Amino acid sequence: MKKNILYAIALAVSFVGCSRPQDKRTEIENKVETLLHKMTLEEKLGQMNQLSPWNFEELADRVRKGEVGSILNVVNSEEINKIQNIAVEESRLGIPILVSRDVIHGYKTIFPIPLGQAATFNPEVVEKGARVAAVEASADGIRWTFAPMIDVSRDPRWGRIAESCGEDPYLNAVMGTAMIKGFQGDSLNDPTAIAACAKHFVAYGASEGGKDYNSTFIPERVLRNVYLPPFKAAVDAGCATFMTSFNDNDGIPGTANKFVLKDILRDEWKFDGMVVTDWTSTAEMINHGFCTDGKDAAEKSVNAGVDMEMVSETFIKNLKQSVAEGKVSMETIDNAVRNILRLKFRLGLFENPYIVTPQSVKYAEEHLLAAKTAAEQSVILLKNDAQTLPLTDKVKTVAVVGPMADAPYEQMGTWVFDGEKEHTQTPLKAIREMYGDKVNVIFEQGLAYSRDKNTSGIAKAVNAARRADVVVCFVGEESILSGEAHSLANLDLQGAQSQLIKSLAATGKPVVTVVMAGRQLTISDEVEASDAVLYSFHPGTMGGPAIADILFGKVNPSGKTPVTFPRMTGQAPIYYAHNNTGRPANPTEMLIDEIPVEAGQTSVGCRSFYLDAGNSPLFPFGYGLSYTNFEYSDLKLASDKLTVDGEVNVSVNLKNAGKYDGTEVVQLYVQDKVGSVTRPVKELKAFQRVELKAGESKTVTFSLPVSDLAFWRYDMSYGVEAGDFKLWVGTNSAEGLSAEFSVMN
Ligand code: GLC
Q: Dump pLDDT digits (tens) for 230-252.
A: 999 999 999 999 999 999 999 99
> Which of helix, strand or coil describes residue 674?
coil
In short, whether 62's Cβ falls inside 6 Å of ligand 1 is no
> Which of helix, strand or coil describes residue 274?
strand
Give the number of domains in the chain.
Answer: 2
Centre of ligand 1 to C-alpha 279, Å, is: 6
> Please, where are the H alpha helices in 197-329?
220-222, 229-236, 258, 284-287, 294-304, 314-324
Tell me how far apart the terminal alpha carbons of the chain are, to the nearest angstrom. Answer: 60
- Determine, yes or no, domain membership for 680: yes
| Longest CA–CA separation in the chain, Å | 92
Which of the listed residues 35, 68, 98 is the one where a domain comes to its end?
Answer: 98
The residue from 212, 278, 452, 672 that is catalytic is 278
Percent of the chain with pLDDT over 90: 95
Q: Are strands 723-732 and 735-744 parallel, antiparallel or unpaired?
A: antiparallel
Closest C-alpha residue for ligand 1 atom 12: 102
Q: Is a pLDDT exceeding 90 seen at residue 155?
A: yes
Q: Are strands 397-401 and 470-476 parallel, antiparallel or unpaired?
A: parallel
Mean pLDDT of the chain: 96
> Which of helix, strand or coil describes residue 587?
coil
Which of the listed residues 63, 81, 98 is the one where a domain comes to its end?
Answer: 98
**Range of weakest confidence among 315-329, 348-362, 488-502, 625-639:** 348-362
**CA–CA separation, 534 vs 402, rounded Å?**
14
Q: Is a pLDDT exceeding 90 seen at residue 14?
A: no
**CA–CA separation, 273 vs 308, rounded Å?**
11
In short, whether 278's Cβ falls inside 6 Å of ligand 1 is yes
3 falls in which pLDDT band (50, 70, 90)? very low
- Determine, yes or no, domain membership for 648: yes
Name 619's bridge partners: 565
386-437 confidence digits (pLDDT tens): 999 999 999 999 999 999 999 999 999 999 999 999 999 999 999 999 999 9
Atom of ligand 1 nearest to the CA of 279: 11
In short, whether 102's Cβ falls inside 6 Å of ligand 1 is yes
The H-or-E segment that residue 83 falls in is helix 77-90
**CA–CA separation, 500 vs 444, rounded Å?**
11
The pLDDT of residue 19 is: 52
Q: Is a pLDDT exceeding 50 seen at residue 140?
A: yes
The H-or-E segment that residue 744 falls in is strand 735-744
Which of the listed residues 61, 83, 98 is the one where a domain comes to its end?
Answer: 98
Domain of 74, in residue numbers: 47-98
Closest C-alpha residue for ligand 1 atom 3: 278
> Which of helix, strand or coil describes residue 515?
strand
**CA–CA separation, 322 vs 315, rounded Å?**
9
Atom of ligand 1 nearest to the CA of 146: 10
Mutate-to-test residue for ligand 1 from 484, 486, 487, highest number of ligand atoms within 8 A of CB:
484
The pLDDT of residue 13 is: 44
CATH code for the domain of 658: 2.60.40.10
| 501 within 8 A of 526, measured Cβ to Cβ | yes
> Which of helix, strand or coil describes residue 25?
helix
The DSSP 8-state label assigned to residue 238 in this structure reads T
- Determine, yes or no, domain membership for 266: no
> Which of helix, strand or coil describes residue 620?
coil
Look at the chain and count its residues. 745
- Determine, yes or no, domain membership for 684: yes
**CA–CA separation, 214 vs 206, rounded Å?**
9
Atom of ligand 1 nearest to the CA of 246: 8
- Determine, yes or no, domain membership for 86: yes
**Which of 322, 328, 254 minimizes the C-alpha distance to 288?**
254
**Pseudo-torsion of CA 193, 195, 199, 201, nearest 10°?**
150
Closest C-alpha residue for ligand 1 atom 1: 279
Atom of ligand 1 nearest to the CA of 200: 9
Amino acid present at 85: N
Centre of ligand 1 to C-alpha 604, Å, is: 47
Mutate-to-test residue for ligand 1 from 99, 183, 279, highest number of ligand atoms within 8 A of CB:
279
**CA–CA separation, 20 vs 316, rounded Å?**
37
522-566 confidence digits (pLDDT tens): 999 999 999 999 999 999 999 999 999 999 999 999 999 999 999
Residue 649: count of CB within 10 angstroms of its CB: 14
- Determine, yes or no, domain membership for 520: no
How open is the CA angle 29-30-31, to the nearest 5 degrees? 90
Centre of ligand 1 to C-alpha 732, Å, is: 33
The DSSP 8-state label assigned to residue 723 in this structure reads E
**Which of 650, 622, 652, 653 minimizes the C-alpha distance to 740?**
650
**Quick one: three-class SS letters along 643-664?**
ECCCEEEEEEEEEECCCCCEEE
Centre of ligand 1 to C-alpha 22, Å, is: 34
Residue 278 falls in the annotated catalytic set: yes
The pLDDT of residue 10 is: 46
Read off the pLDDT of each residue in 495-523 and give the average, rounded to a whole number. 98
- Determine, yes or no, domain membership for 704: yes
96-108 confidence digits (pLDDT tens): 999 999 999 999 9
> Which of helix, strand or coil describes residue 481?
helix
256-268 confidence digits (pLDDT tens): 999 999 999 999 9
587 falls in which pLDDT band (50, 70, 90)? confident
The H-or-E segment that residue 727 falls in is strand 723-732
Q: Is a pLDDT exceeding 90 seen at residue 568?
A: yes
- Determine, yes or no, domain membership for 526: no
**Quick one: three-class SS letters along 408-433?**
CCHHHCCCCCCCCHHHCCCHHHHHHH
Read off the pLDDT of each residue in 128-157 and give the average, rounded to a whole number. 98
Burial profile 345-360: b = 16 or more Cβ within 10 angstroms, e = fewer:
bbbbbbeebebebeee
